[in-house]
């Protein structure tokens, strides 16, 4: 175990992230018109808790800002302030700054005060417009705990020769006992300050039969304390009971001896019998009645109990432990595959108990793997909230009124995927606001609502996560994109591209230029970078746009980065895994299915269209292109734009789960290869990135976008 404070500090920042999420949620609810007192309270408490924790770690800048924020929120809570658009905007900005301060504090970075100060001032101004001066009248009924008592409790300091002697008269009132205070402990605390002489006055204690309330304060004490600590230290002992007792403290006249206390008692005297009043049995009679129980136990506030369910029990686990579990599950998957292979090799009949046991093992392995993946999964909500901030900032920077709509915030995605999606999403959201949406006036001129809308949706779709970023802006101006691409030499001037193909030009690396930004709604800005980042996650991104209506990007991602369902294929004696999700269809080629077109180009007719064959063996450099592709297997692979590509392999071996072993760390990014895996027989196989491979394809199946159409046209004589 490391330093416990460091651990708590780390967990504080984790808690802060949760509180920031709660804060943004609450503000969002308010913006949606739900500004009830509970919502406001929740928002207030979030900031309050951040402040409290930050104080504990001495994060002064964070405390100072959180305090201003809290004060402003308190105005809201007290009803002196109304959460209108302006106020909420400030609160949203305040949350963003608070988040910055939290993260900078966590990472030990300084926060740019030029960003913080104006917001802090705005919050302060907001509170100042409504606040009544704090009603601290100076009547303090109990003080913050004294911090100066840094004495060893077990060893009271020896009396000092020249220490002044204080005389203390202490008479508890009933309230003292009712608030759980105990004279004995106060007297002990005094003893810690110096040599103490105690005298208990029990002359006012009534008889048992007359004592209605034993806590009515029937006894009182005179104490002599010899200490150099000073009056303030003595008063601090009585801080908690200030106002609950009569207390006189003065320097004793004439040194140690009190007139009424000739025989000093030992300091231990008050221990067992110091507060006999507490021990005395209650009985009928005089004096004040005990404080009535104002709330029956257990039903203090049933309404509150019904309103909010108890928080669900959770355990916080170090991510490393989970990753270890994920790795181990990966090993089980490999192991199970090996076992299957051995059983197969041993020629064990299909209905044997070993086989059925292995079946169950396989099912369990899948279940375990899914459960482990669920541990790593997190709702995309935090990511969406970060995007909400990007929208706010970009909207402020561009002066465009923008509303962000989110959907599917609770969709769960692997934690690493969420983290690595932040950058590409930020980019796309910024683009959507900055370049996708028209200026407010232009929108109105086109009969659109003045306020632009950017929507962010997450959903599960056939075993993958789909995230969609859409705007209702002007859409892609395809003629300009085409023009630009031709001028930049990315495509030939006579290219005939489909709309989808034109849109996809935006992802080409050479396409993003500053010039293009302003001319084409900036759709090309760094989109190649976005695509690369998403592909690195095993995902794809596609684009759809309607002129005048808007543009949408769809990102599709695997649920996990650890395991995938793959098709194990054989090419030129090599075993290769292709992600099942990429494969649309498989078919065995007959002699009539393949036509050759030119010296090294073969095409396959599939229903009503013709596709060039991509020979995987040749493409990966395992062998030269074949003369004849009859009897080969074709895998139809879906591409970014949805159109299929035909990939030729020698045989399909199996379809199974494989554990992804990343290659990036050791080899960097290898074109066309997503990762590697270990097969059941211990063999290492590459996992293909078929879409990347197709897009990079060269050699016998080079497919310029136009060529395939032309091929199809040439081949139309063929019956289908």
Interface positions with other proteins (CB under 8 A):
4-5, 7-8, 11-12, 15, 41-42, 44-45, 48-49, 51-53, 55-58, 134-137, 139-147, 149-150, 153, 175, 177-182, 184-186, 188-189, 237, 239-240, 243, 278, 290-291, 293-298, 300-301, 304-305, 307-308, 310-311
* Min CB(382)–other proteins separation in Å: 17
Q: For residues 627 and 623, what is the distance between their CA atoms, to the nearest angstrom?
A: 12
CA of 469: how far to CAs of 403, 456, 554, 557, in Å?
Answer: 13, 5, 7, 14
* Min CB(419)–other proteins separation in Å: 22
Phi, psi of 99 (to 5 degrees): -60, -40
**Any idea what the Cα angle at residue 611 is, between residues 608 and 614, rounded to 5°?**
155
**Cβ closer to other proteins: 71 or 426?**
71
**Any idea what the Cα angle at residue 485 is, between residues 484 and 488, rounded to 5°?**
85
**Cβ closer to other proteins: 94 or 526?**
94
SS3 per residue for 273-340: HCCHHHHCCCCCCCCCCCCCCCCCCCCCCHHHHHHCCCCCCCCCCCHHHHHHHHHHHHHHHHHHHHHH
* DSSP one-letter code for 481: H
Centre a 10 Å sphere on the Cβ of residue 316 and count the other Cβ atoms it contains: 7
* Min CB(683)–other proteins separation in Å: 48
Contact call for residues 454 and 433 (beta carbons, < 8 A): yes
Q: For residues 449 and 504, what is the distance between their CA atoms, to the nearest angstrom?
A: 29
Q: Which residues contact 244 (CB under 8 A, 6 or more apart)?
A: 172, 173, 175, 176, 179, 181
**Cβ closer to other proteins: 187 or 252?**
187
168 by DSSP, 3-state: which?
strand
**Cβ closer to other proteins: 230 or 463?**
230
For tokens 């006992």, the residue is 177
Contact call for residues 600 and 708 (beta carbons, < 8 A): no
The 8 Å CB, 24+ separation contacts for 598-603 are 600/625, 600/699, 600/700, 601/700, 601/701, 601/702, 601/711, 602/629, 602/700, 602/701, 603/711, 603/715
* Min CB(247)–other proteins separation in Å: 16
* Min CB(40)–other proteins separation in Å: 12
* Min CB(12)–other proteins separation in Å: 4
* Min CB(209)–other proteins separation in Å: 23
Scored b (16 or more CB within 10 A) or e, 648-662 reads bbbebbbebbbbbee
**Cβ closer to other proteins: 184 or 338?**
184
**Cβ closer to other proteins: 164 or 243?**
243
* Min CB(330)–other proteins separation in Å: 32
* DSSP one-letter code for 451: S
Q: Is 675 exposed, middle or buried (0-12, 13-18, 19+ CB in 10 A)?
A: buried
* Min CB(163)–other proteins separation in Å: 22
* Min CB(176)–other proteins separation in Å: 9
**Cβ closer to other proteins: 184 or 439?**
184
């Amino acid at each position: 175990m490391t330093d416990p404070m460091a651990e708590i500090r780390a967990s504080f920042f984790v808690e802060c992230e949760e509180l920031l999420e709660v804060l943004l949620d609450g503000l969002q609810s308010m913006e949606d018109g739900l500004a009830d007192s509970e919502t406001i309270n929740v928002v207030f408490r979030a900031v309050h808790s951040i402040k409290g924790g930050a104080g504990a770690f001495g994060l002064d800048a964070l405390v100072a800002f959180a305090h201003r924020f809290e004060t402003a929120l308190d105005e809201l809570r007290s009803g002196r302030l109304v959460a209108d658009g302006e106020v909420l905007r400030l609160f949203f900005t305040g949350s963003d700054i608070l988040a910055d301060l939290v993260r900078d504090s966590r990472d030990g970075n300084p926060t740019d005060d030029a960003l913080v100060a104006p917001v802090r001032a705005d919050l302060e101004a907001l509170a100042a417009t409504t606040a009544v001066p704090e009603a601290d009248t100076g009547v303090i009924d109990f003080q913050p705990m004294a911090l100066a008592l840094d004495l060893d409790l077990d060893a009271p300091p020896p009396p000092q020769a020249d220490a002044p002697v204080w005389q203390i008269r202490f008479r508890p009132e009933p309230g003292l006992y009712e608030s759980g205070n105990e004279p004995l402990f106060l007297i002990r605390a005094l003893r810690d300050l110096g040599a103490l002489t105690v005298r208990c006055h029990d002359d006012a204690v009534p008889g048992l039969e007359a004592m209605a309330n034993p806590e009515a304060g029937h006894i009182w004490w005179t104490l002599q304390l010899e200490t150099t600590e000073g009056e303030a230290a003595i008063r601090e002992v009585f801080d908690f009971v200030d106002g609950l007792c009569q207390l006189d403290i003065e320097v004793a006249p004439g040194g140690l001896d009190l007139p009424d206390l000739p025989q000093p008692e030992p300091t231990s005297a008050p221990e067992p019998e110091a507060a006999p009043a507490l021990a005395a049995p209650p009985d009928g009679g005089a004096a004040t009645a005990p404080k009535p129980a104002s709330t029956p136990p257990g039903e203090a506030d049933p309404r509150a109990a019904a309103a909010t369910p108890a928080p669900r029990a959770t355990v916080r686990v170090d991510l490393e432990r989970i990753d270890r579990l994920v790795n181990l599950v990966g090993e089980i998957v490999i192991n199970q595959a090996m076992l299957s292979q051995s059983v197969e090799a041993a020629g064990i009949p299909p209905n044997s108990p070993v086989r059925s046991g292995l079946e169950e093992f396989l099912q369990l392995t899948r279940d375990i793997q899914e459960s482990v993946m669920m541990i790593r999964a997190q709702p995309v909500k935090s990511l969406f909230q970060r995007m909400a901030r990007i929208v706010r900032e970009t909207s402020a920077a561009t002066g465009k009124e923008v509303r962000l709509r989110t959907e599917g915030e609770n969709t769960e995605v692997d934690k690493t995927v969420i983290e690595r999606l932040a950058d590409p999403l930020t980019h796309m959201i910024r683009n959507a606001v900055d370049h996708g949406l028209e200026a407010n006036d232009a929108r109105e001129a086109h009969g659109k609502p003045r306020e632009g809308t950017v929507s962010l949706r997450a959903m599960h779709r056939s075993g993958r996560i789909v995230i969609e970023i859409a705007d209702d802006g002007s859409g892609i101006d395809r003629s300009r994109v085409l023009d630009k691409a031709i001028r930049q030499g990315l495509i030939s001037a006579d290219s005939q591209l489909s709309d989808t193909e034109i849109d996809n030009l935006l992802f080409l690396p050479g396409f993003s230029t500053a010039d293009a930004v302003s001319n084409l709604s900036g759709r090309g800005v760094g989109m190649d970078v976005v695509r690369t980042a998403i592909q690195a996650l095993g995902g794809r991104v596609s684009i759809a746009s309607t002129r005048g209506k808007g543009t949408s990007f769809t990102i599709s991602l695997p649920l996990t980065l650890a395991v995938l369902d793959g098709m194990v294929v054989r090419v030129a004696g090599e075993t290769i895994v292709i992600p099942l999700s990429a494969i649309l269809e498989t078919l065995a080629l007959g002699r009539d299915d393949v036509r050759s077109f030119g010296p090294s180009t073969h095409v396959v007719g599939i229903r009503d269209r013709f596709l060039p064959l991509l020979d995987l063996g040749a493409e990966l450099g395992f062998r030269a292109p074949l003369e004849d592709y009859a009897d080969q297997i074709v895998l139809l692979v879906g591409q970014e734009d949805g159109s299929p590509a035909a990939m030729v392999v020698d045989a399909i071996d199996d379809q199974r789960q494989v554990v992804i072993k990343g290659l990036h760390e050791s080899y960097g990014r290898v074109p066309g290869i997503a990762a590697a895996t270990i097969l059941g027989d211990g063999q290492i196989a590459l996992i293909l990135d078929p879409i990347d491979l197709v897009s990079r394809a060269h050699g016998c199946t080079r497919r310029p976008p136009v060529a395939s159409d032309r091929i199809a046209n040439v081949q139309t004589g063929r019956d289908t």
